Amino acid sequence: MALYETESYDAIVVGAGHAGCEAGLAAARLGKRTLVLTISMESVAMMPCNPSVGGTGKGQLVKEIDALGGEMGINIDKTFIQSRMLNTAKGPAVHSPRAQADKQRYHEEMKHTLEKQENLHLRQGEVVDILFETGGFRADGKRVAGVVLKSGAVYRGKTVILALGTYLDGRIHVSDASWPSGPSGLSPSLILAEKLREKGFALRKFKTGTPARILAHTLDYSKLKEQKGDDEIIPFSFMNDDIGGNKRSCWLTRTNEKSHAIVAENIEKTAPYGGYTTGVGPRYCLSVEDKVSRFPERKSHQIFLEPEGISTEEVYVQGMSTSLPEDIQVAFYRSIEGLERAEFSRYAYSIEYDCIDPLSLRCSLEHREVENLFFAGQINGSSGYEEAAAQGLIAGINAARKIDGKAAFVPDRSEAYIGVLIDDLVTKGTEEPYRIMTSRAEFRLILRQDNADLRLTEKGFELGLASRERYERYLKNKRDTETEIARLRQTFVSADEAARFLEHIDDARGECGKIHGKISLADLLKRPEVTYELLRAADKDRPEVTPYARRQAEIQIKYAGYADKQNRRIESFKKLENKRIPDDIDYSSLNGIRPEAAQKLSEARPQSVGRASRISGVSPADINVLLVHLERMKAGGMRNEGT
Amino acid sequence: MRETIAAVSTAYGEGGIGIVRISGDRAGEILDRLFRRGGESGKKRSARLSAGRRRVFQDKKMYYGFIEDPLSGETLDEVLVVFMCAPHTYTGEDVAEIHCHGSVISLRRILDKTLECGAAPAAAGEFTKRAFLNGRIDLARADAVIDLIKAKTDRGYDAALGQLEGRLSERIRDLRERLTDILAEMTVYMDYPEEDASSDDDGNVRSFEDRLNDIRKDLNELISSSETGRMIRDGISVAIVGKPNVGKSSLLNALLRENRAIVSELPGTTRDSIDEYASIRGIPVRLTDTAGLRDAETAVEALGIERTKEALRKADLIFLTFDGSGALDGEDLEICSLLGERANEIPALAIVNKSDLPQRIDRDEILRLLPGVSAIVVSATTGEGVENIEEYIEHEVYGGRVKQGESLLVTNARHKALLMRADAGAESALEALRREEAFDFAETDIRDAYDALGEITGQTVTDDILDRVFSRFCIGK
């Protein structure tokens, strides 16, 4: 194959999945000449697994991507067919939006957005190699110079972002059968995997899976439970107010003992239990065979049937991914109530793919050793569209900033779920496909989905990514909220009125807090039973308030005490986060740090004590030693110490 | 490599023996340059030293000999020395100790010689800091070292040793594990809203409440042990009350076995409360002598009475003093009624003084007025019966009503504050659960409790924790 030179770009994004799309759009929107390469134009922003965006933790990520000026929120608002706010029975910190997408339209809209984007070229082509030149972080180090396509075309790039998804050395498994493949039958990226290995990247096998798709008209709806979308739909994007209503419902059913028996009898025929795969799968998204073998005491598992779009009969059978042989899959699915006559359009499979160890990345998502080479998405060991998109956005932003010689943009754990995601990946690493969860965010009372714009849009605007229109909407929302909070704090009702109001709304705890004199509407709103909506009865002269300001004022007033507590925790977190570790620190000379910890720290070279404390294998005692050391260095007391 | 440090490790001016401690790689070499073993002649020793042949000290073996000025050869003191090899030493480094005579001059001169030989003077807490840095002790133990130093009495010493052995750390770790379990269950519930198996909300909440209540019970046990801990370290507080001129000051002096407070025949001479410290049978005791209770005619005396009331409020133990040579009068009754308000909370002892004089008091009347209070007859002047008071103190503290609280004692104010923060977190979490708030809110509070406990053992790292711990050390430790 003869190589030939073609064009030069500021940023070359390899892959146009959820990470690649955000990376390309971000770099282009920051004024960089950007090329996005995809194996197939048909797979841009493809959803090879579930037809939905959002969920616990994931919904927060999408809102953050949107607040910074990313595309995912806007795209799902354009193409959703059902929307729900999950966890509404619980506190606002875990309220998580989720929308069912029209898969085909999601792909088309995103592809169209990329095509129209100024500075961005979306092109079909398979990358088979990346080019290095000498230099970079060390004189004898490496710097990325461009990519080579299967055709021999060479594209030069100042930065390269690898967003390879599950294509890298991808292999599909169905029982004992397996073949090289990308997701959903697309061609895998085999040569590049080989070249990356040759170049010394340590690759490892992860595994994921997807359930079968069955046809909607073959379901027995009389046996299924309907799950409708919300009446009031809150858009993912802060740019949208009204995005229309739900177009489809989801349906619920359950597995039963008979279906579990089918799986148990045939478990040796599945890829992992039969010993046909060794890849590490996600603990948080178990295959049917794992569910049955790990939780034998559970007699039934819930199933969501999710329509894949408006112009298709295909239905996604959530939670039922498997690598059982296809005939057994049919028997198993048909043992489930409502699915007795289900016809299959696609069978379930599991897929193994190569990914890198994210510990080899900086928090900007640039590689530690190879300058200007960024990694984003599933290649970094994460799972999920939203996790991928968040990394893509950060990689795209930081590639652009690297070219401009600007400091990397990395939100920390107290600022965004995106910060939690990236810090977890590059500081702690992961031994299985990483999924974001609300429990991973220690400051989740502050990192809510409703306030993502308040947390991040200002930053997005400073970066140059959030548009002026977005910035002004944010300013207005913020102002409206503040005005409404101030009004509620300054509007008082008499004790009598308050008592009548509480009686009216049947406040069972009315007696426990006797009111003397007068009480502000804000204080009334703090009572557990009182909602902003109910408060209207006592709020005679309530002005017109936008839905945004209404929701935000309610949350901020009701949970002010907890927000204060969490903010105090954030303060102490920031103290360690801001305690810098000098770049030239020699961990091996630090008396008292265990050799294992010294080695981990030398490899990871954390920039702050906070980050150092999260590296696995580094104990609190090691951190205390490090603190003492830094303390003494600061005091100039390091006589004869170190080498 | 860290420099070798030296300091006097025993308190100046106390005790017959003092110790100069040297820690670091050069400890053995410095010791060799200063120490002549009994039996080795000065000539042979200088020949050996000038030939560069060093003595190899056996690990943890006591040697008898002399400290000599390496230049002049002058003998400074007769000593016992011991050399301990790294890493199994207090600091984790090579350690040499010179046990010499306890006089300030001797200690000072030996320390100066170690510095001349290349040791650096140790900073406050540096030995312990090195022990900590070298992984010899965790933070709770490091704190216990502080208390060990500060402990003035045998009992305090025992408590400090308990922490040194990590008993507190063990209890705290257990509490943290229990909090972790609750946190883990709460987060599962938050992350899987669609999972139907764990949707038994009420059951969850009840179980969390029960478990948090148990944890609070254990925390409060530790916190109340810190009250006893305070007594052991700072001494229990004994208020001596009684009407004027019953011999309170004489009694105080008898207990102190020295004349300190002014004793006078004029009623109301002792106008201020006087605090004196004594070690009674190994228990540190703070004795507070108060002005007599008498309707105040002057401002000064009014102040004294206020102080009496104050002392009554704060005391761990009360001595009600009566004059055995006179009949009970209205003032005595007033005192009994004043105590009555606290009689159930704190132990009190009726002391009938002046047993050397003819007795006119009706002792049965006292016992009737003060049910449950025992009475002891003494003569502060002759010392008769004072021993019984000492026995009473010992009995009350170790076996009786002044709560001793197991063998585990929290004797450190920082620990206590953190335990209280943990308890406040657990309490607030319970409150959130009772109000049926979302688990996230309770979870935040529980995490705070968890972190507070972690600060005690050093599992939770805060940027100022080391400053706080080590700054409390004195030089030589």
Angle at B53 between CA B49 and CA B56, to 5 degrees: 110
Percent of chain A with pLDDT over 70: 96
Inspect the interface and report whether the beta carbons of B440 and A445 lie closer than 8 Å: yes
d(CA A607, CA A594): 19
**Which of B440, B460, B466 has the CB atom closest to A628's CB atom?**
B466
Q: Is the pLDDT score of A514 beyond 70? A: no
Q: Is the pLDDT score of B345 beyond 80? A: no
Q: Is the pLDDT score of B259 beyond 50? A: no
Q: Which residue has the higher pLDDT, A37 or B56?
A: A37
d(CA A411, CA A424): 12
Task: Give the pLDDT band (50/70/90) at residue A581.
Answer: very high
**Which of B2, B92, B133 has the CB atom closest to A640's CB atom?**
B2
Residue with tokens 């006089």: B103
Predicted pLDDT at B305 = 63
Evaluate whether B472 touches B146 at the Cβ level (below 8 Å): yes
A353-357, A606-610, B331-335: range with lowest mean pLDDT? B331-335
Task: Give the pLDDT band (50/70/90) at residue B252.
Answer: confident
| Residues of chain B with C-beta less than 8 angstroms from the C-beta of A623 | 461
A91-100, A308-317, B242-251: range with lowest mean pLDDT? B242-251
Task: Give the pLDDT band (50/70/90) at residue B103.
Answer: confident
Size of interface A-B (CB pairs under 8 A): 116
Residue A95's closest CA among A69, A63, A66? A63
Predicted pLDDT at A639 = 34
CA distances from B371 to A444, B313, B429 (A): 59, 20, 43
pLDDT tens for A562-571 read: 888 889 889 8
Report the residue of chain B nearest A318, measured CA to CA.
Answer: B194
| Residues of chain B with C-beta less than 8 angstroms from the C-beta of A627 | 461, 463, 465-466
A30-44, B27-41, B222-236, B442-456: range with lowest mean pLDDT? B222-236
B164-231+409-463 has CATH 3.40.50.720 classification: no
d(CA A171, CA A181): 5
Inspect the interface and report whether the beta carbons of A591 and B134 lie closer than 8 Å: yes
State the nearest Cα–Cα gap between B294 and chain A, in angstroms. 45
Largest pairwise CA distance in chain A: 88
A242-256, B234-248, B265-279, B441-455: range with lowest mean pLDDT? B265-279
**Which of A90, A572, A639 has the CB atom closest to B462's CB atom?**
A572
State the nearest Cα–Cα gap between B149 and chain A, in angstroms. 22
Structure tokens at A409: 């943009």
Predicted pLDDT at A640 = 35
Structure tokens at B5: 């440090």
The Cβ of residue A240 has, within 10 Å, a number of other Cβ atoms equal to: 17
Percent of chain B with pLDDT over 90: 16
Predicted pLDDT at A219 = 97
Inspect the interface and report whether the beta carbons of A87 and B190 lie closer than 8 Å: yes
Interface test with B, best of A286, A437, A527, A624 (most B CBs within 10 A): A624
| Residues of chain A with C-beta less than 8 angstroms from the C-beta of B434 | none
Report the residue of chain A nearest B434, measured CA to CA.
Answer: A528
Inspect the interface and report whether the beta carbons of A87 and B193 lie closer than 8 Å: yes
B234-399 has CATH 3.40.50.720 classification: no
Task: Give the pLDDT band (50/70/90) at residue A260.
Answer: very high
DSSP code for A592: T
State mean pLDDT over A127-151. Answer: 94
pLDDT tens for A376-434 read: 999 999 999 999 999 999 999 999 999 999 999 999 999 999 999 999 999 999 989 99
State mean pLDDT over A485-510. Answer: 83
Inspect the interface and report whether the beta carbons of B462 and A575 lie closer than 8 Å: yes
Average pLDDT for chain A? 91
Report the residue of chain A nearest B445, measured CA to CA.
Answer: A565
State mean pLDDT over A89-104. Answer: 88
d(CA A62, CA B260): 77
Percent of chain A with pLDDT over 90: 72
Predicted pLDDT at B126 = 79
* Side chain identity at residue B235, one-letter code: G
Instruction: Tell me how far the alpha carbon of residue A470 is from its chain's centroid.
Output: 22
State mean pLDDT over B250-279. Answer: 56
Residues of chain B with CATH 3.40.50.300: 234-399
Predicted pLDDT at A635 = 47
| Residues of chain B with C-beta less than 8 angstroms from the C-beta of A624 | 132, 139, 458, 461, 465-466
Predicted pLDDT at B406 = 35
Interface test with A, best of B126, B169, B191 (most A CBs within 10 A): B191
Task: Give the pLDDT band (50/70/90) at residue A627.
Answer: confident
| Residues of chain B with C-beta less than 8 angstroms from the C-beta of A565 | 444-445, 448
Report the side by side order of strands in the sheet with A344-346. A225-227, A250-254, A302-307, A314-318, A213-215, A344-346
Angle at B79 between CA B76 and CA B83, to 5 degrees: 120
Predicted pLDDT at A218 = 97
Inspect the interface and report whether the beta carbons of B461 and A565 lie closer than 8 Å: no
Q: Is the pLDDT score of B260 beyond 50? A: no
Inspect the interface and report whether the beta carbons of A90 and B134 lie closer than 8 Å: no
Sequence-ordered list of residues with C-beta below 8 angstroms from that of A101, at least 6 positions apart, any chain: A47, A51, A52, A53, A76, A79, A80, A81, A309
Sequence-ordered list of residues with C-beta below 8 angstroms from that of B337, at least 6 positions apart, any chain: none
Predicted pLDDT at B170 = 81
A150-159, A255-264, A632-641, B384-393: range with lowest mean pLDDT? A632-641
Residues of chain B with CATH 1.20.120.430: 164-231+409-463
Predicted pLDDT at B398 = 55
Task: Give the pLDDT band (50/70/90) at residue B166.
Answer: low
At residue A6, the 3 state secondary structure works out as strand
Q: What is the set of domains in chain A, with CATH numbers?
A: 4-206+353-463 (3.50.50.60), 213-351 (2.40.30.260), 468-552 (1.10.10), 579-634 (1.10.150.570)
Residue B370's closest CA among B348, B385, B390? B348
Predicted pLDDT at A34 = 98
Q: Which residue has the higher pLDDT, A127 or B105?
A: A127
Residue A404's closest CA among A488, A464, A467? A464
Predicted pLDDT at B440 = 78
State mean pLDDT over B314-323. Answer: 84
| Residues of chain A with C-beta less than 8 angstroms from the C-beta of B421 | none
State mean pLDDT over B198-214. Answer: 74
**Which of B191, B439, B460 has the CB atom closest to A437's CB atom?**
B191
Give the number of C-alpha atoms closer than 13 A to the C-alpha of residue B361, restricted to the C-beta side: 26
State the nearest Cα–Cα gap between B211 and chain A, in angstroms. 21
Strands A344-346 and A213-215: antiparallel
State the nearest Cα–Cα gap between A89 and chain B, in angstroms. 8
pLDDT tens for A421-475 read: 999 999 999 989 999 988 889 898 999 999 999 999 999 999 999 999 999 999 9
Q: Is the pLDDT score of B268 beyond 60? A: no
State the nearest Cα–Cα gap between A499 and chain B, in angstroms. 20
State the nearest Cα–Cα gap between A439 and chain B, in angstroms. 5
Residues of chain B with CATH 3.30.1360.120: 5-122
Predicted pLDDT at A321 = 93
Evaluate whether B108 touches B9 at the Cβ level (below 8 Å): no
Sequence-ordered list of residues with C-beta below 8 angstroms from that of A492, at least 6 positions apart, any chain: A518, A519, A520, A521
**Domain at B5-122: CATH architecture:** 2-Layer Sandwich (3.30)
State the nearest Cα–Cα gap between A142 and chain B, in angstroms. 35
pLDDT tens for B106-143 read: 888 898 899 889 998 887 677 877 887 676 777 667 66
- Residues of B near A (Cβ–Cβ under 8 Å) read 1-3, 92, 120, 129, 132-135, 138-139, 187-188, 190-197, 435-441, 444-445, 447-448, 451, 454, 458-463, 465-467
